[in-house]
Chains A and B, each alone.
Chain A
Amino acid sequence: MSEPTGRAEVRRTCKLFVGGAFPRSESGRSYVVSAADGTPLANAALASRKDARDAVVAARGALFGWAGATAYNRGQVLYRVAEMLEGRRAQLAAEVGLAEGLRPAAARRAVDASVDRLVWYAGWADKVAQVLGASNPVAGPYFNFSVPEPTGVVVVLAPQKSSLLGLVSVLAPVVVTGNTAVVVASEDRPVPAVSFAEALATGDVPAGVVNVLTGRTAELAPVLAGHMDVDGIDITGAPYRAREELERLAAANLKRVLALDDVPETQPTLRRTRAFVEIKTVWHPVGT
């Protein structure tokens, strides 16, 4: 890609995004990422099992603050991510086009849909509890209500094909309710995810709320599925044949497991959000 005359381009190093920082893999490994037509695009960090565990530590550390933030605040932070993406639409469209082999118009549509999806979920932050919660008319002198709470640290194996819209479609429903996330990006198409992480870092998302790993899904997924400090896992991006093993590993601490194939949905629903909330019911006597 060297250019014989004129300006030499400044190439980007594609790094991990863990705890708000951009480390290389602690293993020192990287792998070559190619465009859909086979042209080499970049070297991406090849995350190790240790990187995955570090990402869980970062996500756990960020959980108390993010889950405890007001829903209004979380909504604004997610909306701010959409703002950050909006300004990078051209870059993202180019990367999505190369990664997925899309024509420019189709790549732009995917990016626009990603931004719009974030806006859609951002608006849910302060409405989820009203829709998923309840006031329960029990047969006795008690005030009784139910509220959704975040499940905790959730691992998201992002869809392999849809590099950006797929990623946003599985990540936003997890973090909007106050969960923190460890994302394993599309293995062969990680560049848009790296740019997404760079956009997150320039927005208001607290460090550790979203952590993005690039590398081999087959290497990272079992470690995360069996990790005792992970509370839930969306295995949508895992190969179909790997699901049974991941679900079995997830039994170690009874992680909530989601495996849906319809990603990215043309019209998102609350189904993914429901999968990673816990309904808490509180009773109190009523009396004088």
Chain B
Amino acid sequence: MTDVEARTEGAAGPVFAYAPAPESRDIVHLDAEYGLFIGGEFRPAATGRTFTTVDPATEEPLASVAEAGGGDVDRAVAAARAAYEGGWGKMRGRERAKYLFRIARIIQERARELAVLESLDNGKPIRESRDVDVPLAAAHFFYYAGWADKLEYAGFGPSPRPLGVAGQVIPWNFPLLMAAWKLAPALAAGNTCVLKPAETTPLSALFLAQICQEADLPPGAVNVVTGAGATGAAVVAHPGVDKVAFTGSTEVGKEIRRTVAGSRKRLTLELGGKAANVVFEDAPIDQAIEGIVNGIFFNQGHVCCAGSRLLVHEPVAELVVDRLRQRLATLRLGDPLDKNTDIGAVNSAEQLAKIRRLADAGSEEGAERWSPRCTLPERGFWFPPTVFTGVSQSHRIAREEIFGPVLSVLTFRTPAEAVAKANNTPYGLSAGVWTEKGSLILWMAQHLEAGVVWANTYNRFDPASPFGGYQESGFGREGGRHGLEAYLDV
């Protein structure tokens, strides 16, 4: 065990000990190798190239996965086109719906297996994969299944048409859930899909491909091409793709925007964030503390909408920070498959290095760093929950997306100052506000430039609720009736 650079003043240790409560990993059977899912079948990459996906909690290899090259992407797009012009594209909405309902049901039936798989490949706590990722993925298919034969009621005219072949590139933080967010509305609207999961978390998308087979989804309606950035770039740039949907960093989002310029491809982007979580003096403090913790430490902070900037009203700033430290001291970091675990592993060595770099910048720029007493496992990629106080708006940790369990605390005196500070970012994905005053909640909600505003709650998601950003957090919405617009020619 290695000791963390951590200061523990003001924080109590864990109040009581837990016995380990590991979820069994035996429920997941992993093959040694996984192929690409093209035209309804699994096949190796044409070049024979593969890459290895590892368990970030142990650095043990999980499986070898095919790395799709340009030729494979060609074949996947061709398969999607054939399905669009054939079976899936010609199918009536009410029939499409039944396939999506089937997929939702199979996800529910295999929920435990998928949860363990997701925790293995991603490093997130089983509590989260079991209670959030997998049920929401099933719910997303269930929700959009119902739209498939009701598109004329969605508010886009009497007979909205699908776009064609959708190229969809998704991130590693919610691998299965993001696949569901992309596939479900696209399929419901009658499109076919080429999905490129993230390099470090390809497995749940491949399991989802198996589920599509199990559901007898027409071949080619969903294709999964695994690989790294080059594979994603090939999907985005492919002339046979009619629509591009991307979730990931703002930097890559801008590159994709440039790639599709002039192509007439439709584009939606769900990108980074640097959300403000604003706590007023009259907030319900106990609930706010839970909301702050959930806001930034959910999924190790690998959340684009994470509440990474805590804006606290000056009169309660000391109280909130003290209570927050006490609460953080009770968080349990470790084995993602342990049902008691609150903080799992960082997804990759690369991401860990980025978090360390930015946290170090926080210290160097003069903010005060604090972590609870916390020992990190020797193997794997880990970062302790970290809170910076004395942060100013110019600090990198207040401006740049860290995408890790690092919270920057700033203070304010008036609602107007809170809004000015909250909006002082090129991003605009989400925001939080905590107060018992209803009129202040609604005033804040009006003035915060963010696509999602959580009031007296944080990090809630639902398939019926539109999600997406303002400004450099991207454009387009996922979820709800609004999420259909991205996949219809309207």
Contact = CB atoms under 8 A, between A and B. Distances in A.
Interface in A256-288: 256, 269, 271, 274, 278-285
A243 interface: yes
A138 B465 CA distance: 7
Contact of A139 (B455, B462, B466, B475): B462
Interface stretch (A35-43, A50-58, A87-95, A140-148): A140-148
21 contacts: A134-B466, A134-B482, A146-B466, A244-B262, A244-B263, A247-B257, A251-B255, A251-B257, A254-B271, A254-B475, A256-B475, A278-B470, A279-B468, A280-B450, A280-B451, A280-B470, A281-B466, A281-B480, A282-B454, A283-B460, A285-B457
Given A248-B258, A254-B472, A281-B465, A138 B455 contact: no
Given A247-B262, A253-B472, A274-B485, 20 more contacts: A134-B466, A138-B460, A139-B462, A139-B464, A146-B480, A243-B262, A245-B261, A245-B262, A248-B258, A251-B255, A253-B471, A254-B257, A271-B490, A279-B468, A280-B451, A281-B452, A282-B445, A283-B455, A283-B465, A284-B457
A27 interface: no
A32 interface: no
A243 B475 CA distance: 19
B456 interface: yes
B106 interface: no
Interface residues of A, number: 34
Interface string A235-259: 0000000011101101111101000
Interface residues of B, number: 44
B452 A254 contact: no
B462 A144 contact: yes
Interface string A130-165: 011010111110101010000000000000000000
Interface in B455-490: 455-457, 460, 462, 464-468, 470-472, 474-475, 477, 480-482, 485, 490
A26 to B, nearest CB: 29
Contacts of A284: 441, 455-457
Contacts of B462: 136, 138-140, 142, 144
Contacts of A248: 257-258, 261-262
A282 B451 contact: no
A253 B426 contact: yes
A188 interface: no
B213 interface: no
Interface of B: 139, 155, 157, 250, 253-255, 257-258, 260-263, 269, 271, 426, 441, 445, 450-457, 460, 462, 464-468, 470-472, 474-475, 477, 480-482, 485, 490
A231 interface: yes
Interface of A: 131-132, 134, 136-140, 142, 144, 146, 231, 243-245, 247-248, 250-254, 256, 269, 271, 274, 278-285
B460 to A, nearest CB: 5
Given A134-B481, A136-B465, A251 B453 contact: no
A132 B255 CA distance: 30
B269 A279 contact: no
B261 A244 contact: yes
Which residue, of B139, B157, B471, has the highest number of chain A Cβ atoms within 10 A?
Answer: B471
Contacts of A271: 490
B185 to A, nearest CB: 15
B139 A139 contact: yes
A279 B470 CA distance: 9
